[in-house]
Amino acid sequence: KIFLYSVKPRKNATVLSQKLRTLYDTIRDYKDPKGRQLSLIFLKLPSKLEYPDYYEVIKRPIDLERISQKLKTSQYESLDDMVSDFVLMFDNACKYNEPDSQIYKDALMLQRVALQTKLQLRED
Ligand SMILES: CN(C)Cc1ccn2c1[nH]c(=O)c1c(Cl)cccc12
């Protein structure tokens, strides 16, 4: 299948898409020192059937699948744009879940990974 660009994608468009992919993959693949992949619980929101109150408490529910979908369909205009979706998700997790819960602690850890990765990618 020959894919001829009618118009060559602008350089910074591909640079941005590479940075967005790197940020997403870094969070998705992050493992703690014991080798546990923290992102797995964040892949899919809890079901409305099992957790109806979740959708009362959390006004803007979001999960990794939604962020992944937005990445695939080029809906992010900047790194900060994607970071704000990650921060929203982790804030949701810290709002709904108890501070002594594993998901609360994992949200804080992954939020730090997101912010550190953003800073590193900004320098490149
Ligand atoms: C107890 N149960 C609802 C925890 C649980 C189970 C799954 N998920 C949560 N809590 C969340 O906040 C959450 C978020 Cl942000 C994104 C994706 C999945 C989530």
Task: Verify whether ligand 1 is closer than 6 Å to residue 22 (CB atom).
Answer: no
Report the alpha-carbon angle 27-30-33, nearest 5. 150
Q: What is the pLDDT of residue 98?
A: 98
Q: With a threshold of 0.95, tell me whether the complex ipTM lies above it.
A: yes
- Expressed in angstroms and rounded, the spacing between residue 63 Cα and the centre of ligand 1 is 8
Which pTM value belongs to this model?
A: 0.92
**What is the predicted pLDDT for the residue at 4?**
77
Residues 19/79, Cβ–Cβ less than 8 Å: yes
φ/ψ (deg, to 5) at 31? -120, 140
Q: What is the DSSP string of 27-51?
A: HHH-B-TT--BGGGGGSSPPPTTT-
pLDDT tens for 45-54 read 999 999 999 9
